Amino acid sequence: MRDLIQPLVNGEAMISRGAGSRLVLVLLTLSLPIYLTVVFMLGPLLAQLAWEFDTSVAITGQLASATFMAWGVGAILTAPLSDSFGRRPVLLVALFLTAALVALSGIAWNYSSLLVLRVITALVASALPTTTMAAIIDLLPPQSRPRGLAVVSSTVMLGPLFGVPAVSLVADILGWRGPFFAISAALVIIMIGAFLTVPKQPQDETERSSGFFSHREAYVALSKRLDLWLVLIGNLVLRANSAVIITYMAAFLIASHALDEGQVALPLALVSLGLVIGSLTGGEVSRNRWCLLILALTFTMAGLTGTFLFESTLNTWVSVGMGFSVGALTHLAMPTFLNIVARVSGEHRSSAMGLFVVTNQWGSLLGAAPGGLILAKGGYGPLGFLLLGMALAGSAVCLVLWRRQNSEHRRQTPYNLRSVEDG
């Protein structure tokens, strides 16, 4: 763990800007889990919202689907903004507007008003992770970026690990409106910290005026790189898998195991811990020559386990253990996917990372939206088959990537050495 955190606090791992740079980097990194909590905070609230608005969990679950859709659309539209206008102003404006909109969501008077506010919030807040990631990349020199981004991807998972269970606890004490006001206050604190620490970074006027169009050229170039598209598809199904668990696990435990919002906080934390452990362990898996074959196997194992995840006849802690396993087994792929993006994107790395962030949200939509429809028609049990299908798709992506990687290796290896390797 010490080795993972070192790039974030060690002056050697950053552009030499003193202790201030280290403080900015830590602030930006720790803010990412809060952004993710804004996205996933509805999961523990679905049961309360269904009771408040006199509807079903399946219907309130579509609030999460609308959030993911708007976030994905917003990420495409807002990604070039910080390149055009600078990291600091875009970050500060987005933080202010997001904090205000989250607070307004806490006073929503009916289902429709909450839906509209969540969509607008997601469109605005989508600028936060892309701008923050761009700022982090600016602070990390090229030789430290792969390791630093691995730390960042693991830190992001602290949102589901701590943020989502915290939402559940606050909702149990203050009702469903309480978490909105608490998160709004946290965003205001981050905004003040960013105002005091994030430096102005004047850009060349040409860069500022051509931000969007330069991204368009990068996207055209990236569209020709098949490995990148395979990784994006793999990330889609990975995030969809996570979205099903995070969005519906709390409501399932409340409905099938007679838990309340306070009691479900610990099970949610343990399930989310699987995502963190999977991401951290995946760093070691990515070093293995056979990592893609290993990941194809772990995706398959996750799918088979997930098939039985939402069975109400299981013991509560067995269900939690299965949720932990599914999350850990799928998130083993995260560092490998990031490494492939860094390798194949070349000079368009920032744009490629923007696309990767976009697939995070569209993947979440891919899990939450069908999950709500399945829940409305067949209850919780069939959700397991959705997890199975997505996991098998992830396994197929890893197998195709391995085959392409192996073919490329054989093309680049001289015949005499290849014969020795084949043994």
Residue 74, C-beta contacts closer than 8 angstroms, at least 6 positions apart: 122, 123, 124, 125, 126, 127
Confidence tier at 82 by pLDDT (50, 70, 90) = confident
Percentage of residues in the chain having pLDDT higher than 70: 81
Average pLDDT of the residues in 189-200: 86
- Does the pLDDT of residue 134 top 50, yes or no? yes
- Does the pLDDT of residue 5 top 50, yes or no? no
| pTM confidence score | 0.69
Confidence tier at 147 by pLDDT (50, 70, 90) = low
Helix (H) / strand (E) element for 95: namely: helix 87-105
- Does the pLDDT of residue 149 top 50, yes or no? yes
- Does the pLDDT of residue 390 top 60, yes or no? yes
Burial class of residue 382 (count of CB atoms within 10 Å of its CB; 0-12, 13-18, 19+)? middle
Can you tell me the distance from the alpha carbon of 148 to that of 353, in angstroms, rounded to the nearest whole number?
14
Average pLDDT of the residues in 244-272: 83
In CATH, the number for domain 18-198+209-408 is 1.20.1250.20
Can you tell me the distance from the alpha carbon of 103 to that of 94, in angstroms, rounded to the nearest whole number?
14
Average pLDDT of the residues in 191-216: 62
pLDDT of the residue at 210: 46
Structure tokens at 167: 């939402």
pLDDT of the residue at 148: 67
pLDDT in tens, 280-326: 788 778 878 888 999 999 999 999 999 998 887 888 889 899 999 99
**50 or 213, higher pLDDT:** 50
DSSP state of 163: I
- Does the pLDDT of residue 80 top 80, yes or no? no
- Does the pLDDT of residue 58 top 90, yes or no? no
pLDDT of the residue at 16: 37
CA dihedral 102, 107, 112, 115 (to 10 degrees): 10
